[in-house]
Structure 1
Amino acid sequence: MWAGDLARKEVLRFAVSCRILTLMLQVLTRFLGSSSPVVYWFPAHLLLDQEPLLRTLETVPWKPVAQDFPPVQEASRNPIMHLLYHWKTCSPVTRYILGYFLTYWLLGLLLHCNFLPWT
């Protein structure tokens, strides 16, 4: 069928290699994301270390000073939602981490629903 046309063979070879590379990247990303907790430990460590809104008397290893805590500290059921509600008062590190994970989630949602390769 394509014996005489060298350009079509090259296009087919390129398409197959792109598909294989895409599948390998998706599988590797899923394996690393689901089996390695270090990917999630590091941002969690940064959030607990850098964000004063997440500090409570139970999580701070030293004797807290009154200026270390915000004036109204309420126990929230979901600390991520608490951070999102108080976006303007969060530290820049917290904004970057939350922005990264929210962007990753939103892009994954949009691209996966349209049958595009995204992990």
Structure 2
Amino acid sequence: MWPPDPSQKEVLGFAVSCRVLTLVLQVLTRFLCSSTPIVYWFSAHLLHHQEPLLRSLETVPWKPLAGDSPPGQKVPRNSIMGLLYNWKTCSLVTRCILGYFLTYWLLGLVLHCNFLPWT
């Protein structure tokens, strides 16, 4: 039985390299997204400078939006929830940033609960 034949060595080498690759990817994403605030700073910078809805919520957060806003819009205290409530009126950059973070959160929730590799 020992030493293993060449096909067993190849399978073992492939399995070990796949495990090392997933381990490195998990550690890198954990370091980049959890301990480095640059990702969050950059997305906040883009949201702050590119989204007019945030500027209107920033000036008067406790009053409804301007009279020209569509009916049914809500103005919550949390500005991110305000962006989510008014998804259709947000700019493309805002939709991409919010979509990325929502997708990351949902994938992490589903994959982690099923014991799949996710940070």
**C-alpha root-mean-square deviation of aligned residues, in Å?**
2.0
- Please tell me whether residue 92 in structure 1 is matched to residue 92 in structure 2: yes
- How far has the Cα of 1:54 moved from its partner? 0.6
Instruction: Give 5+ residue unaligned stretches, structure 1.
Output: 59-69
Counterpart-to-counterpart distance in 2, 1:8 and 1:117: 25
Give the structure, 1 or 2, with the largest relative contact order (CA under 8 Å, sep 6 or more).
1
Question: Is the 2:47–2:94 Cα contact (8 Å) retained in structure 1?
Answer: yes
**Do the aligned partners of residues 2 and 115 (structure 1) sit closer, same or farther apart at CA in structure 2, a change above 3 Å counting?**
farther
Counterpart-to-counterpart distance in 2, 1:22 and 1:2: 29
- How far has the Cα of 1:57 moved from its partner? 3.2
- Secondary structure in 2 aligned to 1:76? coil
Instruction: Give 5+ residue unaligned stretches, structure 2.
Output: none
Counterpart-to-counterpart distance in 2, 1:4 and 1:95: 53
Counterpart-to-counterpart distance in 1, 2:4 and 2:20: 25
- How far has the Cα of 1:11 moved from its partner? 0.2
- How far has the Cα of 1:34 moved from its partner? 1.8
Aligned length: 108
Counterpart-to-counterpart distance in 2, 1:47 and 1:84: 13
**2:117 counterpart residue number:** 117
**Do the aligned partners of residues 49 and 96 (structure 1) sit closer, same or farther apart at CA in structure 2, a change above 3 Å counting?**
same
Amino acid at match of 1:109: L
Question: Is the 1:111–1:117 Cα contact (8 Å) retained in structure 2?
Answer: yes
- How far has the Cα of 1:49 moved from its partner? 0.5
In structure 1, which of residues 68, 71, 76 is the aligned counterpart of residue 66 of structure 2?
71
Amino acid at match of 1:16: V
Counterpart-to-counterpart distance in 1, 2:4 and 2:11: 14
Instruction: Tell me the percent identity.
Output: 72
**Do the aligned partners of residues 102 and 4 (structure 1) sit closer, same or farther apart at CA in structure 2, a change above 3 Å counting?**
closer
**1:57 counterpart residue number:** 59
TM-score normalised by length of structure 2: 0.80
Counterpart-to-counterpart distance in 2, 1:81 and 1:57: 16
